Amino acid sequence: MENETPSRYAIHECCGKGAFGDVYRATDTREKAIVAIKFVSRTATRPWRVEASIGDRLSHPNIVRMLDHYVHGGFVGLVYEYAPDMDLFDWIVGFHHKDPDGTVGFRTPGVASLVVREAGVQAALQSALATCDRLSDVDDAASVIQSIEVCRDCVVLPLTPGAKEIVGRHIARQLVSALEYCHQLGTSHMDLKPENVRIRRSDLSVKILDFGMGAVYWDEDDTTIEGGVYGGSPDYAAPEILRMAKKVDTHIADMWSFGSTLFCVIHGYRAYSVVLKNGHFQTTHWQHTSPILSTECIEFLRGLLRDAPEKRITAQAAAHHPWIIGETIRTDDDGSDSDSDSGSGDTDVDVDTGSTSGED
């Protein structure tokens, strides 16, 4: 929409800043709706037309939808639907919040309702802390959910391993559905991380946003890019990107970022923290073992976080993985709930050379 003027949109406060542009909350005066507008310089290093092209081709319930774009002066306005409550990173911090007494729990009605539905009412009642009298006499799922919705902030359920997996799987199903859809259309995100996912607290629905680093292909048989210079966030970027490999399959690189994001959802901390040491990126490496997560969950994370791209599972395979489609989830309270529950160590991984420890 080269001739569109910005008068249609009433700009409000800035609600986000990125590497290639700032995002503002705005009102679409024609549709009388709240939208988000990302302003990008027309001369930006990263061509805005790539993001606009990706936005034009994507329409999925778990992806923030582009509604419009216009050019005005030296800037381009990319207009998106206004995303849900908060970014996933901030939600994770709250989800894994530790009270001063060391209790780890959640107060989000959407989480509690999900655990009740999937773990069963008795398991949920057994794991509920007695912080609300109105929960003491109910014995059916509907009453529990209603009580949780009414009580909201005064209900605290402990983060058992089963609860973490239930929530993680619920979010993973949505993200992998979006990635499978993108990859089928020849599009890669290339910067998937919790900060680029929005979540609605009431029902834990998520939407991926910010395809500013994305890649789009017209040849479905070739999803690689060349050059050795790629974007993305180091803590969530695939090893081949950090190594600046000459050729990268961006669909497979997305799957590593998805695995890193999911690991963070379940554990409350990153699978890898990237540091620059002696000119090389190095990471702390988790050992792919955890006594408190289900075998299916561990295998799923392991398949996503394989150092070798050719061994990493695809979005299509992930969508049909037993952990995503199955019912086997641990819901007991056994095991410690400390920060060591991933079994992670401090083994360095020199991603410049591709060497890792504990890799199959």
Q: Which token pair is 238?
A: 């695939």
Say how many C-beta atoms besides its own lie within 10 A of residue 92's C-beta. 21
- CB burial class (10 A; 0-12, 13-18, 19+) of residue 285? buried
CA 215 to chain centre: 18
For 238-247, write each residue's pLDDT tens digit: 988 888 888 8
Q: Which token pair is 73?
A: 């002066």
pLDDT at 277: 61
CB 116 within 8 A of CB 126: no
Q: How far apart are CA 243 and CA 295, in angstroms?
A: 31
CB 292 within 8 A of CB 283: no
Amino acid residing at 192: L
pLDDT at 215: 87
Q: Cα–Cα–Cα angle for 108, 110, 114, nearest 5°?
A: 120
Q: Cα–Cα–Cα angle for 180, 45, 255, nearest 5°?
A: 20
pLDDT at 219: 60
For 35-81, write each residue's pLDDT tens digit: 999 998 888 756 688 888 899 999 999 999 999 999 888 889 999 99
Cβ neighbours of residue 114 under 8 Å, at least 6 residues apart?
A: 166, 167, 170, 204
pLDDT at 349: 37
Q: Can you name the residues that pair with 346 across neighbouring β-strands?
A: none
Q: Which residues of the chain have pLDDT under 50?
A: 1-3, 103-104, 127-142, 144-145, 147-156, 226-229, 331-360
pLDDT at 60: 97
Cβ neighbours of residue 184 under 8 Å, at least 6 residues apart?
A: none
3-state secondary structure of 328: coil
Domains assigned to the chain: 6-81 (3.30.200.20), 105-158 (no CATH), 162-350 (1.10.510.10)
pLDDT at 48: 82
Q: Which token pair is 243?
A: 């190594």
* Percent of the chain with pLDDT strictly greater than 70: 61
pLDDT at 18: 74
Say how many C-beta atoms besides its own lie within 10 A of residue 162's C-beta. 23
